[in-house]
Structure 1
């Protein structure tokens, strides 16, 4: 192959499809000579979205210890795109990174969803699988779309073009930061009582006998102290058996809202700066003493309901011995944060965060990759857009069209994860922004060559970052096997709503991908609700008949709408197929 460099030093070579395999080496010769080693020929998937796509295997290591210990797949490669955002226009190169093989020392850095996706495909097809993981937590879909995707949206185009003006943007940012500084000047300084006295509250000798009682885990708003954020100190006296003392230990403190610092016997153990990571700390050898030990957790809560998230792991572990940390603690307030906007008025401008603005991440983390041939797209995103489900349905279709246009490889497979169950379950039928959002995701299946993995059974009510990424990745891989590899011999989707009809007093619901419908677990089929024209929903009895679901319509009731699994956390939903794949939530008008 030969290429001529442009004036900017760039060049490109287009190669025909080659047989999968390797490793190979590539020799580049010009005025100098460069040799690139360990090159594989295989399928590359562009994987993108927000935190549930980015979430690394390191966060999942307690959930999959055997995978972390035993997996060794050098033919699976991962390129994790470093976070970089810009509103000034499209970049020519991705942020600097490197391809990493899925060997034991590297697996912890792979995104969990994309790793299990690639692992499943490799085990099935025995060809190299490459992952470009371009994901940023907490980002909206608009940030991942190009300017062209917003053609027809005058307001968004005006905003995009305005922010491309570097002079305007720099002046705006300076003004906004000045306003924030002016606000902070008008506020009283933070005085943490835990640090202000002659004896710090983290000192084991501090007398905490007058502190409030607290039952771990939980939230202080539920235990007698409402409407307060700030700095809090939590204290627990531990009795350590002699055989556990002086050894290295692991401390698990579930998940804490928002940030925390941990002290044992007055010594700093570690800290976590935001709410989402699981709290896992190592207590060095020699710090645990036989008998009495004082554990202090300093928590900083910025907004909302602060505390210790229930149904998580709160233990101290030495080898195979564990001490349960749930139960009676004590706590005190070190600093009460003033109410928001107290001490100033007005609607001052806030600084622009490029990764949250339209095109902000497409410019830097997507556009440069469009020059490379890929097998398809993997998408796990939406939590940041649940406030406007209707708009998301339009945006997702626009993003799919946009990316396919940019890659110029036709209707590449676009496979995405429907949002999982999350938040508290409700026993009665309810309105739900997350259910509306899942409906918008469901309707995106009308776009050709798309697939959706249903995950309403893989979430956690108390964690927006559920740990079960293996089933999610493998369900996405089932769709890839069908769409990208032409496998027609597998069941790749759970039941998807198709149509309904009324015959006398029975409503029959038909599904696509309806191979042998089953009820998961014991008991009757659950999760179906009917409403009249007033859209007030009521649970109804449903049963499986063949490959359909049949509902007996209550007497003197005229149904107008049908819903299934319509909730933030649809824990009653139990419609599956014989392959163990769940049915998608849906809402439909009764025909």
Structure 2
């Protein structure tokens, strides 16, 4: 009994020593980027009742905190203008954590499915892969990759660590994310931090919080009907729980998103699902950060028109989601490959969108023409677009326009540009009722604005 009591006592004191060790989530590591000019939360774990001192080198300020009964502590620090490198020290009674080479700048999350996850060395890679890899020396860009991870319940931590952008680290990181960060870093001349938690093949349902499905019976019914796949999980909220929730206390500037291919067969509710998903993320973070996303590219899906429906659902979602923006990439598609290798233009378009809308440092047009309204004048339909300055058809007259007749039959329309508007007519249609544009899985229309950005597919109500 005495020996047993001795080992129990030893186990008790050993557990107390372990609990007393100061620990931080993996999102805090050497080389990280913290959001500039902001109140930033730093948190972790230590022994219950332990008194900690956190010191930030940029202002030599000390923050004192006592760990509550939950054993989790948190401190809100004030960050300066962009710069670095800096250091953060967290000192407890018997242990200390020192974080080095910290930069202060702008932090963005890169999420979605395979076209966001795609790197310079994934499968077929990207355009000019080796050249881009060789030139990827950007010490002011820092990269954090979240490993694939599912969970039934929201997690407080996730694996990973921050890395300095170099040819070695860039080559396996999100190519779209890298090109986005490079655009921002060159224009703003400040550090950029990227957190990549994309997973190829994933439907939007796995990224939304549980509350989205608790509060929307229709979305829950769709989510529960998803069939298992060999390439990604389909259980609602499992990736939010495993790959998002743990970083929601970490202050970010915004999110870029590229997803939708896995939802084409459930396009009818995608506008609502995506809008609710974005709202659930913002609710988790506690503020309405910018959310910029990519409209899926034309691709030869097995079921006719599903790609067009999904692209239109994304167009409508942009109208529903405040502080958002969508980039169109129909002109850089590869209709026989769902992974277009031109990831640089995707990143650049997202970057320009952020530079204009979030940072106010870019004066050019960042969106392609977007359907605004239409007016039926006898046999002719007059279309008006937003972002239509210099509206033009490359090489020839505008293509991929259709008009519906009174019986609902669609007919190819003759289109011409006049005074910045599109005029449509068809010999087969005496009484036009509706219009659609770019309406096909592999449709690659030729309508652009003077910035060289393509028009989005749409169908009128």
Q: Are 1:79 and 1:133, in contact at CA under 8 Å, matched by a contact in 2?
A: yes
Cα separation, 2, equivalents of 1:156 and 1:543: 41
Q: CA RMSD of the aligned region, Å? A: 2.5
SS at match of 2:265: coil
2:167 to 93, 104, 107: 104
For residue 360 of structure 1, what is the aligned residue in structure 2?
238
Q: Distance in 1 between matches of 2:378 and 2:393?
A: 25
Partner of 1:133: 196
Over 3 Å counting, the alpha-carbon distance change for 1:57 and 1:3 in structure 2 is farther
CA distance in 2, matches of 1:64, 1:490: 28
8 Å CA contact 2:200–2:231 kept in 1: the answer is no
Give the deviation of 1:156 after TM superposition: 7.0
- Tell me whether 1:92 sits opposite 2:177 in the alignment: no
For residue 53 of structure 1, give the secondary structure of its aligned residue in structure 2.
Answer: helix
**Does residue 1:390 correspond to 2:455, yes or no?**
no
User: Using a 3 Å threshold, how does the CA distance of structure 1 residues 74 and 157 change in structure 2: closer, same or farther?
Assistant: same
Instruction: Map 1:272-291; keep pairs closer than 5 Å.
Output: none
Which residue of the partner structure matches residue 252 of structure 2?
Answer: 374
Q: Which residue of 1 aligns with 2:109?
A: 46
Q: SS of the counterpart of 2:64?
A: coil
Which residue in the other structure is 1:212 paired with?
Answer: none
The 1:535–1:18 alpha-carbon spacing in structure 2 relative to 1, beyond 3 Å, is: farther
Aligned residue runs from structure 1 range 497-576, under 5 A: 497-520=371-394, 522-554=395-427, 557-571=430-444, 573-576=445-448
The aligned counterpart of 1:146 is 209
Structure 1 residue 8 displacement after superposition? 5.1
1:90–1:367 contact (8 Å) kept in structure 2: yes
**Structure 2 counterparts to residues 153-172 of structure 1, below 5 A:** 153-154=216-217
The residue number in structure 1 matching 2:370 is 496
Provide the TM-score with structure 1 as the length reference.
0.63
- CA separation in 2, counterparts of 1:514 and 1:159? 37
* Partner of residue 23 from structure 1, selected from 85, 92, 96: 85
Q: How does 1:23-422 map to 2 (within 5 A)?
A: 23-30=85-92, 31-59=94-122, 60=125, 63-87=128-152, 89-94=153-158, 96-154=159-217, 355-409=233-287, 411-422=288-299
Deviation at 1:35, TM superposition (A): 2.1
**Which residue is 2:326 aligned to?**
452
| SS of equivalent residue, structure 2 residue 185 | helix
Please, which runs of 5 or more residues in structure 1 have no aligned partner? 163-348
TM-superposed CA distance for 1:41, in Å, is 0.5
Distance 1:350 1:566, change over 3 A: closer
**2:60 aligned residue:** none
Does the aligned pair in 2 maintain the 1:86–1:354 contact within 8 Å?
no
- Counterpart-to-counterpart distance in 2, 1:477 and 1:442: 19
Cα distance change, pair 424–541 in 1 and its aligned pair in 2 (3 A): farther
Residues 457 and 424 of structure 1, relative CA distance in 2, 3 Å threshold: farther
Q: What residue number does 1:13 align with? A: 75
Between structures 1 and 2, the one with greater helix share: 2
Structure 2 distance, partners of 1:507, 1:158, is: 39
Change in 2 beyond 3 A, CA 1:20/1:142: same
Q: Describe the SS at the equivalent of 1:150.
A: helix
Asked if the contact 2:292/2:326 (under 8 Å) is kept, the reply is yes
CA distance in 2, matches of 1:556, 1:483: 41
Report the Cα offset of residue 539 of structure 1: 1.4
Deviation at 1:131, TM superposition (A): 0.8
Unmatched 5+ residue regions in structure 2? Answer: 1-62
Rounded Cα–Cα distance in structure 1 between residues aligned with 2:126 and 2:260: 25
Contact 1:416/1:451, CA 8 A, preserved across alignment: yes
Change (3 A) 1:556 1:103: closer
1:553–1:126 Cα change, 3 Å? same
C-alpha displacement of 1:65? 2.9
Distance 1:382 1:500 in 2: 27
In 1: Cα distance, 2:196 partner to 2:106 partner:
14
The answer to which of 26-35 and 60-69 deviates more is 60-69
Residue 576 (structure 1) shift: 0.5
Deviation per residue, 1:1-58 (Å, 9 max, x gap): 2222344543222122421111112222222233221111111111111111111122
Q: CA deviation at 1:352?
A: 11
Structure 1 runs of 4+ aligned residues shifted over 6 Å read 155-160, 349-354
Q: What is the distance in 2 between the residues matched to 1:159 and 1:567?
A: 24
Distance 1:17 1:45 in 2: 17
The answer to whether the 8 A contact 1:86-1:355 is kept is: no
Cα 1:154–1:515, aligned 2, differ >3 Å: closer, same or farther?
closer
TM-fit CA distance, 1:469: 0.7
Do 2:405 and 2:430's aligned partners in 1 also have CA atoms closer than 8 Å? yes
Q: 1:574 Cα shift?
A: 0.4
1:452 deviation in Å? 0.4
Aligned residues: 393
Deviation at 1:434, TM superposition (A): 0.6
